Structure 1
Amino acid sequence: MPGPKDLDPSVSPRALLGAELRHAREKAGLSQDALGQALFVSGSFIGQMESGTRRIQPDMARKLDEILDTKGFFERNCKAANKSKHPDHFADAAEAERIATAIRQYASQLIPGLLQTKAYAEAVFRAYHPTAPDEVIEDLVAARLERAHILDDPTTPLLWAILDEAVLRREVGGNAVMAEALRRVTHLARKHRIIVQVLPFGAGAHASMEGPLKLMEFDDAPPLSFIEGPSMGMLLDDPATVTRHTLMFNLLQAAALSPTESLALIESVAQDYEHGEQHP
């Protein structure tokens, strides 16, 4: 029997590939857990590939074709489905972010990407890539701003951001850029589109001293956490790890200023930037 036809890359290839995986798995009479055991991954990992949250990598695609007898379909099509406007280490997280119902994020150094302005994002990417051509920076900025469209929906996802005070004090792009960037954060908070807290320097040592943290929840899939470093990132679904990261975020919430106090501080710092004042 011939395998399924190749995908049309112009029509949500990752979602289509995930749907084909679900169809092939069910046709083979396998549960997500059973297929996961054969591939040495969790059942939730299979579910994430089926939903398009995780990309199907070439080595995994070859194994799927063997187990599901799909005549090389997944190996042929995974390349098109894996195309992303985002850096490779962030592509899966960006896709997960797009379908999440709730995002809880601690930002240790930078305004979160979903909340950045064009000028702020340009300054960040130029710092990352000081010798890159302008068109490369423009593409990176465009992809980052496109991500922010998930906030066009008035209620979903819930976005709860905890900003380290360093995020407010680190001058990225100059006074005008910082003032605009912080005003965007306060605008979204005042519209009740996001919840924002500031973790002040006075809080001292805290639960996420080692770096930023992002948690994502979904309607029909287990929660994920995402941790990142220089040019690397890990999307994690291990329940014990996600539970620990959730506790870390809860501890950060408890140590941070209240949303009302945080908003007042961010607006005060934005006003200082507008007046050209420097910050320690």
Structure 2
Amino acid sequence: MARVRHSSGMTQAKVAGRLGYTKGFISQLECGWKRLDASKVRVLDDFLGAESRLVRLYEELYAPEQLDWQERLHLFQASAELIRQYSCVLVPGNFQTKGYAEAAFAAGAPWLKRKQIEGRATNRIERAARVMGDDGPQYHVVLDDMVVLRPIAENAVMREQVEALIGLATSGRVQLQLYDWGTLPHSGPDGAFSLITSPSAPEVLHAESVYLGQMTDEPQMVRGFVSLFSRLQANARSAKESVAYLRQVIRKYEDDESALAQVDLQRWGT
């Protein structure tokens, strides 16, 4: 709130007069000692020309029960024109196959029962279908080699997932690049993130941890991650080289599967 007020050239006294508060109350708001009444948030946002930034931040801070973070992310993605995304551990949710999604939930939350895992995976696939429709956003994606090299499920599931990535990469809808294992310096070891560009809102940064996703449209932070993504793109394999590499990875899972089948045959003496 204070940053937006300063950038708009407004004083605390002017904001207080517009909202019907004292200057001291506005100071306490900006220090985090008081909470702004929900009915005043939109008025403040419009008065400071924040383009809904303060509204979204207020909802994220004080009304998380209204919408879980994954649903908020989905809504931003569905209305986007362009999504730039980096992942260093898992295939992004919108690109996951059903089998891969189930394996990811089972591995990350082993306390879930089978029906819960299936339900979450189904929900993820349905959300992804809405984002990945014909009128959905363009995608520029950089995946660390670890994403496809480290299996989270049996070979058949991994092979199907890699094949799905190739299909997306060759469809013209997704610009997919793989970041070579040995490339130094590595610009993306701190975790997955995405930059979401929409026609009616400022660009949003979404940084994801294991259990939580956080969003911000603070300009300096967004610019920093735009620069980071550009560096990741520049150092990654080209889109064409990435597809060729993914085809090599498929052969790896096929060869491993054949080797395992041979072991089973020898074990049973046939």
TM-score range, shorter chain: 0.7 to 0.9
Return the match for 1:203 from 161, 183, 188: 183
Alignment of 1:1-280 (within 5 A): 30=43, 32-34=45-47, 42-46=50-54, 49=56, 56=59, 59=62, 82-83=66-67, 88-154=68-134, 156-276=136-256
**Matched residue type, 2:224:** R
Contact 1:175 1:276 in 2 (8 A): yes
Report the TM-score, using the length of structure 2 for normalisation. Answer: 0.73
Residue equivalent to 1:74: none
Once the two structures are TM-superposed, the CA of residue 58 in structure 1 deviates from its matched residue by: 8.9
Q: Deviations over 1:90-119 (max 9, x none)?
A: 332222112111111011011111100000
1:263: how far off? 0.7
**Pair 55,138 (structure 1): closer, same or farther in 2 beyond 3 Å:** farther
Q: Which has the larger radius of gyration?
A: 2
The CA RMSD over aligned residues, in Å, is 2.6
Could you tell me how far 1:155 is from its partner in structure 2? 5.2
**AA of the residue aligned to 1:45:** R
Higher deviation after alignment, 208-217 or 255-264:
208-217
Match of 1:134, as an amino acid? R
Q: Any conservation in 1 of the 2:74–2:131 contact (CA below 8 Å)?
A: no
| Contact 2:94–2:132, Cα closer than 8 Å, also in 1 | no
Change in CA separation of 1:238 and 1:55 when aligned onto 2, cut-off 3 Å = closer
SS at match of 2:52: helix
SS in 1 for 2:177: strand
Q: Provide structure 1 residue ranges, at least 5 long, that are not aligned to the other structure.
A: 1-20, 37-41, 61-77
Whether contact under 8 Å (1:188, 1:194) holds in the other structure is yes
CA contact (8 A) 1:214 1:226 kept: yes
CA distance in 1 between partners of 2:117 and 2:110 (Å)? 10
Runs ≥4 residues deviating over 6 A: none
Which residues of structure 2 form unaligned runs of 5+?
Answer: 1-37, 259-270
Tell me, yes or no, if the aligned pair for 2:77 and 2:131 is still in contact at 8 Å. Answer: no
